[in-house]
Structure 1
């Protein structure tokens, strides 16, 4: 347990919470007589904790993105594959308690089991140390990578052009979709088209800002395909 806590960067006051987070249902079923609980309830709670922390992060770091784009990015960040990669990075599978069937069937490396256990661990930290502790952990193991990607994509138009050029015969165009407000405080709207199809839109106080916002939206949309 101590080695896992070091990887998490968090020390539990209530070790029973961490132990429960590592109990797969197959193991709990084999020890039903002892009153052991599986990590399924913690997984349920952890899903909501992760969703909230991720939503808050995206809301604060992407002030210009509309709700639909925020929802798509959050879904990508909290998906099974993303959680599986986080679990792999801390070797979470080595600490799981599995039933004999799951053990022999390769459960320690199964994406669904590891992703669920990762959510259970988030919940255990939340119950033990509160939302601040859970948020710090989620930022450290998951959202920090997203923040690094955001920094890399500050010039969204260049990043989008590089992404599009990976395939031949792709035509990328920007067009202004409108403007509103007085001359001293105008808001411009722009769209980016890929092969004559709108793939992103955005707004800003200059045409350049609007195009960058549109490119940013298009980047997220295309990277999820």
Structure 2
């Protein structure tokens, strides 16, 4: 457990919490000294969402609710949790029943995602909110602009749509620049002749332009919003 704790970057006062966070229900059986990670997974999901929401509010101070919600979904979805569980090499440390282990349970995305969330809860229960916040920030901060990447082709798609409607090429302009030099925030407006302008914010001029193009495509019904259901 201590080597796992070192990878997590948290010194546990109660290592039993970490053991519970890594215990799948298939390993519990008749051993009443063990608890599965189910309750911790439930709690960790909420703690993660709170910390990531706070990070988004600070990172994108002028983003609207809809954009924040889409960014949050991209960051807390199971795929992201699975990725972080793999970064931490948690698969080999999960306690599984023989049947689950034999069926490849250590590599199953559903289990890895749950364990990632349960570990967050274990850190939270053991060290309080500051410890959990530190852990989540460490692993989620590098992924904060995933939503920007998902929109990387929006400008091209908007231009192609405008051309198909015999319209002029979309024009982009910076409405204002906010924030310090090391962490700027741009509010950008895109204009297509004959249509209402659309604005969006981003951590760079490029990402803001893509976000504005994406929002215009949504508004005009050219594309549909992604289904966020897991």
Q: What is the TM-score normalised by the length of structure 2?
A: 0.71
Matches within 5 A, 1:41-52: 41-52=39-50
* Cα distance in 2 for residues equivalent to 1:13 and 1:49: 19
Of 16-25 and 4-13, the range deviating more from structure 2: 4-13
* Matching residue of 2:24: 24
* Matching residue of 2:184: none
Matches within 5 A, 1:114-129: 114-129=112-127
Structure 1 residue 80 corresponds to structure 2 residue 78:
yes
2:20 alignment partner, SS class: helix
Deviations 1:7-53 (A, max 9, x none): 1111101111001000001111x2x3424211000000000000000
Structure 1 residue 190 corresponds to structure 2 residue 189:
yes
2:200 alignment partner, SS class: strand
* Cα distance in 2 for residues equivalent to 1:37 and 1:199: 55
Deviations 1:126-153 (A, max 9, x none): 0000111101111111223326x69xx7
Distance apart, 1:100 and its partner CA:
1.4
* Matching residue of 1:65: 63
Could you say if the C-alpha distance between residues 100 and 197 of structure 1 is closer, same or farther in structure 2, counting changes exceeding 3 Å?
Answer: farther
8 Å CA contact 2:85–2:113 kept in 1: the answer is: yes
Q: Which runs of 5+ in 2 are unaligned?
A: 163-168, 174-186
* Cα distance in 2 for residues equivalent to 1:103 and 1:51: 30
* Matching residue of 2:107: 109
8 Å CA contact 1:69–1:217 kept in 2: the answer is: no
Q: Which runs of 5+ in 1 are unaligned?
A: 177-187, 204-208
* Matching residue of 2:51: 53
* Matching residue of 1:184: none
Matched residue count: 198
Structure 1 residue 138 corresponds to structure 2 residue 136:
yes
Q: What is the TM-score normalised by the length of structure 1?
A: 0.73
* Matching residue of 1:5: 5
* Matching residue of 1:173: 170
Could you say if the C-alpha distance between residues 23 and 197 of structure 1 is closer, same or farther in structure 2, counting changes exceeding 3 Å?
Answer: farther
